[in-house]
Amino acid sequence: MYNQYPHLELPFLEATIPQSKKEVNGICRILKKYEIGIGARILDFSCGIGSHSMELAKKDFKVVGYDPSKFYIEYARTWSKKQDPKTRRNVRFVQGDPLKLLGSLSIDKKFDAAIVMGATIGTNSEKFDTLILQNIGKVLNIGSILILEIENRDWTVNNFQSHIHHQSESIEVIEEWKFNFESSEAQSVTKFYQKIKHDHNYLELLLKLKIRLRLYSLHEIIKILRKAGWSYLESYDNIDNLTPVKNQSQDMIIVATNRILT
């Protein structure tokens, strides 16, 4: 979807920009805790339109936003050109395959930290998620940290919504969800409609999309991280206030390091 129909999700990504500013404050608190200082090199993996990248750049980190969507990367580049000179110098955006970080980035310096915010992990398979996390580790310095945001399976099971409806000014989205307990997958048929305004308002179907999300409990994502070469450090339920993760936490903020812990 993000390659063929990225414009359908764009209004909803733009709506999260104010929240990204708050989330970056929490990210900076975690970076400071693990002695990742101002000027450090940060990889924003699956950056989308670059809202987290931009805010980190404003705080004087050296940021690379990486995403498979050419549309979103071009959007982010255009947006960055409108920023002040310091922010523009601190951020750049690269479009590339999720599993080809080394080839796409061609870096001479590795990163000090990586962030993965939003629905990235779980969109394919456990094997794919492991490969993603392994590849991120390859472009980081030893002792770097990973900040990963994912949906909490346990919360989803206890608060499952079979029908979700949301809309922007021009797009309306209707999602019908089922949960497969055998595979811990949330499966949906999602329909995107264009709002048409004439004498009588009506909706034109633009896209019918099947979505499958592998959701993880905390112990499961820790297992995936270790398999990918990461050492688990801690977890939070909210990037804004960094309170400890709980069973009823909707999202989980996982912090890991590529340093071997004894």
DSSP secondary structure of 210-244: EEEEE-B-HHHHHHHHHHTT-EEEEEES-TTT-PB
Mean pLDDT value across residues 56-79: 96
Band (pLDDT 50/70/90 cuts) for residue 4 is: confident
For the chain, percent of residues with pLDDT exceeding 70: 97
Band (pLDDT 50/70/90 cuts) for residue 262 is: low
Mean pLDDT value across residues 127-136: 95
pLDDT in tens, 12-55: 999 999 999 999 999 999 999 999 999 999 999 999 999 999 99
**What is the Cα–Cα distance from 217 to 43, expressed in whole angstroms?**
25
Extents of the domains making up the chain:
6-153+216-257, 155-214
- Please say if the pLDDT value at position 241 is more than 60: yes
Crossing angle of helices 126-138 and 218-227, rounded to 10°:
50
Band (pLDDT 50/70/90 cuts) for residue 106 is: confident
Residues 6+ apart with CB under 8 A from 249: 152, 155, 237, 238
Structure tokens that stand for 38 in this block: 């101002």
Q: What is the pLDDT of residue 261?
A: 67
Q: What is the pLDDT of residue 200?
A: 59
Answer positive or negative: Cα dihedral of 78, 82, 85, 91.
negative
**What is the Cα–Cα distance from 240 to 238, expressed in whole angstroms?**
5
Q: What is the pLDDT of residue 83?
A: 94
Question: Mean pLDDT lowest for which of 76-80, 106-110, 251-255?
Answer: 106-110
What's the CATH number for 6-153+216-257?
Answer: 3.40.50.150
Closest CA to 125 of 163, 98, 155: 98
Please tell me the pTM assigned to this model: 0.94
Closest CA to 42 of 102, 101, 91: 91
Q: List beta partners, residue 236.
A: 244, 253
Residues 6+ apart with CB under 8 A from 186: 156, 177, 178, 179, 180, 212, 213, 215
- Please say if the pLDDT value at position 74 is more than 60: yes
Amino acid at 237: D
Q: What is the pLDDT of residue 198?
A: 67
Domains 6-153+216-257 and 155-214 share a fold: no
**What is the Cα–Cα distance from 11 to 75, expressed in whole angstroms?**
12
pLDDT in tens, 144-201: 999 999 999 999 999 999 999 999 988 999 999 999 999 999 999 999 999 887 655 7
Candidates 2.60.40, 2.20.25, 1.10.20, 3.40.1350; CATH matching 155-214? 2.20.25
Over the chain, what is the mean pLDDT?
92
